[in-house]
Amino acid sequence: MSAVDGSGCERVTSQDLSRAALLARLRERCTWDVLVIGGGATGLGCAVDASARGHTTLLLEAHDFAKGTSSRATKLVHGGVRYLAQGNLALVREALAERSHLLANAPHLVHPLRFVVPAYHWLDIPKFGIGLTFYDLLAGTHGIGHSRVLDSASTVVALPTINPAGLRGGIAYWDAQFDDARLAIALMRTHFDLGGLALNYLPVEGLICEDGRVCGAVAHDAETGECFRIAARAIINATGVWADAVRRFERPEARALLKPSQGVHLVVDRGFLPGSDALLVPQTADGRVLFVIPWCGKVLIGTTDSPRGDLPLEPEPLAGEVDFILATVAPYLVRAPTRADVRSVFVGLRPLIGAGDTSATRNLSREHCIEVSPGGLVTITGGKWTTYRRMAEETVDTAQSVAGLPGRFADTATLRLHGAGEGPSKDVYGSARATVDALPGARRLLQHGLSLTEAEVRYAARCELARNVEDVLARRHRALFLDAAAAAAMAAEVARLLAEELRRDALWCAAEIERFSTLARQYGSSSAT
């Protein structure tokens, strides 16, 4: 059972989530059982798994939790219809099982979603129907619902804005949708509930090696500059597309593992797909699929798969990517979105395994890879959000063995995440809603058309480790991803509230407003390439 402490944070054991208290905990412990570097999906999953096994576990993130790829997904928890077409049945089966676990363990953040594949040729119906029936069979007891054939009238009912010209019908099937950044925050809070420690804005800048073994890391507080030498028995590198850089802290000559690619997503108003079902465009010009998905009162369209040689923290679309998405979706809708309709553009980098592979990135496997270095650094990379839990389980198994830790096991497949209530909920705070609404400003919306309240900003600062305006408007709430201009309009008020909570001055507020406004302009449609 959760309780509530004086700061308004629900807790399992008495703990202060202020940054001062977290840094004090970091200074107190001499040696950790497990140090996880990276606060995205995989790193947070590893931290939860290790804490659940009873290991003292520290997670360090250079920026904010899910700042990179893990907040920029297509918002799907799925087996992967495209992977089925590629014949990767093992990955599909594993992902479908993990989809089931997520639906059960985070019912406030993961929900079933029906997809409709429109058919414009008579052969499309048997072709798609056979494949999706096989998808159902692979799900087995983990299935959500059965696929079925729709006639043209039923397809239009499901997708009211679908182009009816030449429409023969469609195939409906079930997968799941989630809020990626909010799930990352739920994992971070679950890690704390289990007794672990996590800190954002505390980048690792080197590894400590003794007698040929990796036994710690050097890190510093990005806010104060304070340096830390952290000892740990097992060290897990879960830094996604930046994993090769961490591997080279130990071995500068280490061969690259990754061949990153990027995926661009566009967000437009709900009127472009007003129903409750999602649209799957089954064939793009580059041999992929495209999703058009209702999400948080808007419509999300994506994605692309383009090789990326550099690794910017805030990647932007490459030339032609936005136009490619708009052109691909246009034939399927009565009224196609244009650049002027785009409310936000966001880009995620994928940590694909395949350095040196000359194949197109769309053909590279989405499976994961665990590498143990000569010095015992455990690197986990590749994979996807849907399978984060399974990846974490395998990684911690490896770390235990490498470091000689007790061989413990935790059944994370049945571990309900922070905020999970008795049943499904559309509220991303789940069972924590009462705690949020006990804070000042629970009924005060900051911007018409977006759901963020004053109380939620205060909760983000007190209980979710938010340190700046971007943390709140990009990841604690999804305003930046939903409507960049509306998010920019809220920046001043969010900065004011955070300044109260974090004891910042007017100069900090001004700098935060300017920094976030610059970022919002990048996400806005005017910057789309």
Give pLDDT tens digits for 443-501.
Answer: 999 999 899 999 999 999 999 999 999 999 999 999 999 999 999 999 999 999 999 99
Q: Which of 254, 285, 484 is nearest to 381 (CA)?
A: 254
Domain contains 502: yes
Q: 53 in a domain, yes or no?
A: yes
State the average pLDDT over residues 221-228: 98
Q: How far is residue 101 from each of residues 60, 77, 125, 295, measured CA to CA in Å?
A: 26, 10, 31, 21
Inter-residue contact 282 to 328 (CB < 8 Å) = no
Residues 264 and 222 both lie in one domain: no
Cα-based distances in Å from 270 to 299, 315, 485: 5, 26, 16
The share of the chain scoring above pLDDT 70, in percent, equals 94
Instruction: Please give the torsion angle defined by the CA atoms of residues 401, 407, 411 and 417, in that order, rounded to the nearest 10 degrees.
Output: -70
User: Does one domain contain both 274 and 143?
Assistant: yes
DSSP bridge pairs for 348: 263
Q: Are residues 216 and 313 in the same domain?
A: no
- Within-domain flag for 268: yes
User: How many domains does one find in the chain?
Assistant: 3
Asked whether residue 86 is domain-assigned, the answer is: no
The 10s digit of each residue's pLDDT in 353-365 is 976 555 555 555 5
Give residue 287's pLDDT band: very low, low, confident or very high (50, 70, 90): confident
Report pLDDT digits (tens) over 234-275.
999 999 999 999 999 999 999 999 999 999 999 999 999 999
498 in the same domain as 462: yes
Closest CA to 263 of 333, 180, 338: 180
Same domain, 106 and 167: yes
Same structural domain for residues 353 and 383?
Answer: no
Domain contains 81 = no
Q: Over range 209-215, report the average pLDDT.
A: 97
pLDDT in tens, 324-340: 999 999 999 999 999 99
Q: Domain for residue 493, yes or no?
A: yes
CA 284, CA 140: separation in Å to the nearest integer? 29
The residue range of the domain holding 517 is 439-527
Do 170 and 270 lie in a common domain? yes
* Residue 109 pLDDT > 70: yes
Which pLDDT does position 6 carry in this prediction? 46
**Residue 442, by phi and psi: left (phi above 0), alpha (psi -120 to 50) or beta?**
alpha
Let me know whether 170 and 271 are in one domain: yes
Percent of the chain with pLDDT over 90: 86
- Whether 402 contacts 41, CB under 8 Å: no
Decide if 165 is inside a domain.
Answer: yes
Of 323, 346, 361, which residue is a domain's last?
361
Backbone phi, then psi, for 110, in 5-degree steps?
-125, 125
CATH number for 270: 3.30.9.10
Residue 85 falls within a domain, yes or no? no
491 and 461 assigned to the same domain: yes
Are 405 and 53 a contacting pair, CB within 8 Å? Answer: no
pLDDT at residue 315 is higher than 90: yes
* 3-class DSSP state of 169: strand
Same domain, 248 and 391: yes
Long-range contacts of residues 206-215, Cβ cutoff 8 Å, at least 24 apart: 206/249, 207/235, 207/246, 207/249, 207/250, 207/375, 207/377, 209/250, 209/375, 212/374, 212/375, 213/375, 213/376, 214/250, 214/373, 214/375, 214/376, 214/377
Give the model's pLDDT for residue 355. Answer: 64
Residues 162, 289, single domain; the answer is: yes
Q: Above 50 in pLDDT, residue 1?
A: no
Residues 337 and 267 in one domain: yes
